[in-house]
Amino acid sequence: MNQLAEELNTLLAGTVAERLLSDMGRRMYFPRGIITQGAEASEKAHKFNATIGMAYENGAPMMLDALREELPGLSPSEAVAYAPTGGVLELRKVWKESLFRKNPSLAGKRISLPVVVPGLTAAVSYICDLFVEPGDTVMVPDLHWPNYRLIIEERKTAAGITYPLFSGNGYNVEALLEGVRQAGQRRGKAIIILNFPNNPTGYSLTLKEADLIAQGLLEIARGGTDILVIADDAYFGLQYEDNLLRESMFARLADLHPNILAVKADGPTKEDYVWGFRVGFVTFGGAGFSDQQYEALTKKLLGIIRSSVSSSSSLSQNLLLKALKYPGYEAQKARYRAVLQGRYAAMKAKLATMELPRGLSVLPFNSGYFMSFLCEGFSAEALRVKLLNEQGIGTVSLLDRYLRVAFSSVEERDIAELCEIIVRTAAEVRAQS
């Protein structure tokens, strides 16, 4: 094992992070090579800096006029230069500040400086690189983002273990906690992914459900189980009803118990309506972690980034940084959020007035971009295909039992017609089954 990796492991010794690290995680480190030497040169090479492989002219990176004309608000360094492996430092600091503002329960808690990764998929994937071994089990609800399985089962050759997302009209808290208990009894550790608002159902926890999950995980951790909680907050802040948890579960778990490591995967993709920027963040939170230990975890993550994509897009990061600091930024976000909430309300109201055909039911939803229908006694895929081919309406079928509808991408004035066509077509499919 590389000496740098051993040094990081020594810093983490005795922590839940050290116990949870995968073999890859234990071996990972950030090399003291070109990147480190280039960083030193950028501070001290006052005469000539001949380190990083970029072409300079008159003290700035070369930039084609074709790009300058399209990006007048960015300097060449902001637009075309490499970003540091961990991301633009000012952006990382601004994002961390925003986490405390958006999650009041983080007040007084110590968390790591967020690391920039190329999108939420990369965030989840890199976290699994650090902590998931072949043969491990990762708990996700039965209704989850399909990419989890691709990451967990195919990339990491671990097992994705599911539990029913809903119990009645609410979250199945006990099924989640029972799965964590069983995992702890088998392997002494448990790995779970919490995604709220949930994709594909658009469900967010109530405050009571959030309390029950935190209390249950605390009890299990006190019993000796090491728990990794990955908080996938891709749709953060898009709750549309009262009495819902508007913070990340990360905020409640970040220093809950020494046997719990919380890792937050988030980004501007949906929060800031920049889907193609491919910028995400990974932040660590654990009880009793020192700044040195957070830095050790960060360096291991930097090794993952350096050995895969090297760094995330500098252009996207600097555009995001300017947006976050732009006067009226929060008001602009609020306006678009209100548009989404209007579409949600229209969907909720219309479905409440409709008589659904036998076998078609609406799963609980209260937030996010989506809602889902449960199709019993007929094929959700057949419904999807009929809607597409005969009505020109695109939806997503999952497990041939669920039909996901993204109300986020349909104008509010068209929601009622969308619901009517889906229900009518479902009745036709049901009659033919």
Going by pLDDT thresholds of 50, 70 and 90, the confidence category of residue 425 is very high
pLDDT of res. 56: 84
* Average pLDDT value for residue range 249-261: 97
What's the mean pLDDT in 77-91? 93
Please, which pLDDT band fits residue 51 given cuts at 50, 70 and 90? confident
How many Cβ atoms sit within 10 Å of the Cβ of residue 65? 7
pLDDT of residue 221: 98
Q: CB neighbours of 123 closer than 8 A, spacing ≥ 6?
A: 117, 232, 265, 266, 267, 280, 281, 282
Q: How high is the pLDDT of residue 55?
A: 87
pLDDT bucket at 43, cuts 50 / 70 / 90 = low
Return the structure tokens found at 327: 């006067």
Instruction: Identify the pLDDT of residue 84.
Output: 93
Residues ≥6 apart with Cβ < 8 Å to 18: 9, 12
- The band of 42, judged by pLDDT with boundaries at 50, 70 and 90, is low
Answer CATH for 3-30+85-324 from 3.30.930.10, 3.40.50.970, 3.40.640.10, 3.90.480.20: 3.40.640.10
Which stretch of 31-40, 63-72, 304-313 has the lowest confidence by average pLDDT? Answer: 31-40
What average pLDDT does the segment 376-380 reach?
97
Cβ neighbours, 10 Å, residue 157: 12
| Average pLDDT, integer, range 205-216 | 98
What's the rounded Cα separation, in Å, for the pair 286 and 22? 17
pLDDT for position 135:
87
Contacts for 88 with CB less than 8 Å, ≥ 6 apart: 116, 314, 317, 318, 321
Cα(266)–Cα(283) distance, integer angstroms: 9
What whole-number distance in Å separates Cα of residue 308 and Cα of residue 313? 14
330-432 classified as CATH 3.90.1150.10: yes
291-303 pLDDT, tens per residue?
999 999 999 999 9
Q: Please report, for the chain, the start and end positions of each structural domain, with discontinuous segments joined by +.
A: 3-30+85-324, 330-432
Phi, psi angle pair for 190, to nearest 5° = -140, 145
Out of 40-54, 196-210, 250-264, which region has the weakest mean confidence (pLDDT)? 40-54
Q: Are 132 and 138 in contact (CB under 8 A)?
A: yes
Q: Cite the DSSP H helix spans in 244-328.
A: 249-253, 268-271, 291-306, 314-324
What amino acid occupies position 421? I
